[in-house]
Amino acid sequence: MRILGLMTGTSVDSADFALVDFSRDGDVLHARVKSSGEHPWPEALRGRVLEAVTSASVPSLAELTLLDAHVGEFLAGVVTSVRDDARERGSDAPLDLVVSPGQTLFHNVEGGRTLATLAIGDASRIHAATGIAALSTVRSADIARGGTGAPLAPLLDQLLLGPDGGCAVNIGGIANTTLCTPAAVGPTAPPLVRAGDTGPGNGLIDAAAALRTGTACDTDGARAAAGRVHDTLLSSLLADPYFALPFPKSTGREYFSPAWLDARAREAGIDLDVLSTENLLATLTELTARTLADALKAEVGHEPRTRLHVTGGGAHNPTLMARIEALLPGCTVTTGPLGGLDPDIKEAFLMALIGYYSAHGLPGALIDATGATEPAVLGQLTPPHALRTVPLSTTAPRQLLVEDSRD
């Protein structure tokens, strides 16, 4: 089954894609990555989406409906480009499914409970432009059953980490982690999984860098490395109740926004305008590292001693990585491929994997990781009658073998 996974993350920097051929042999799921890459957002559309994600004001209904349509058209263009490129490379194999979770605008969480989520990117536009079935709205079924709806990465992480377990961390706009502990009932049992969003990843760092320097990010963490942590500001930020919540938990950039930073600073009597750019970025980088480390320590009840595999944009920030290693001295911190999967395509690959599970009637969210009352098959299919010939499965794969066959 050939599936195209799309992901527009909380950083709103690009639409990443991974085209994957899936086949199953008993308990083993084989995944051959055929192509991958990213398509930058049209600058004007990106600006409108970022404003909707980070602004304290609510978009009008007129703007919201247009954003939904325009993001859907942008994603349809990405699908068309990927399909045309595959044909130019001599592949006539049809695309069976596109998985597009859309661009999350708001993840509604109150008192530690996820009430609802809103993602835009009209899947009907994808199908109308390409004729390919599209799976969208992938978080809602888990939320409807009392789950957090995010992160969904544990489905993939447990397969990549294998029976020995470990910890997988992704640092995008928001940071999330999957902690897999080998089950005590035997080596063939699936690992015990706990997961959640630990707090801001690159989101606040990027926003501050854009405001202060006009650049998209603090490249290589250079400015943060030249600064000093403002201890009073950091203490005020760490006092936010979200950080004390246990796993599973989820959040988004609509919560950890520049407005949140301003409010916490005012409560502490701090004028952010008098902080140097370097000191502000050093403090925000420390916040990301500390909240990640504190969440893991709270979850295991002691100093973690495990392998910690980091992916996402944060893995390319040496200042942030150095702080994570210093705060978790018992962990072996690694980056790069895990289980044969290129970390730069992990989130898009995850969407393709969820598509495979949903097409075969398999739950795509781990209830131990989301807190849902029961497993759910994820997503809404456009058109509804697509994929009726795909046989349903009664058991999930126990092993994933990734083969990178990109040119």
pLDDT per position as a tens digit, 157-189: 999 998 888 999 999 999 999 999 875 545 555
- pLDDT digits over 22-46, tens only? 999 999 999 999 999 999 999 999 9
Give the sheet arrangement for strand 192-200, strand by strand.
192-200, 174-181, 166-171, 307-311, 332-334
Mean pLDDT of the chain: 93
Q: What is the pLDDT, as a whole number, of residue 191?
A: 61
- pLDDT digits over 53-89, tens only? 877 567 899 999 999 999 999 999 999 999 999 998 8
CB 70 within 8 A of CB 17: no
Handedness of CA 142, 148, 150, 155 (dihedral sign): negative
Instruction: Tell me the two tokens of residue 43.
Output: 């600058």
User: Quick one: what percent of the chain has pLDDT higher than 90?
Assistant: 80
CA–CA separation, 76 and 46 (whole Å): 16
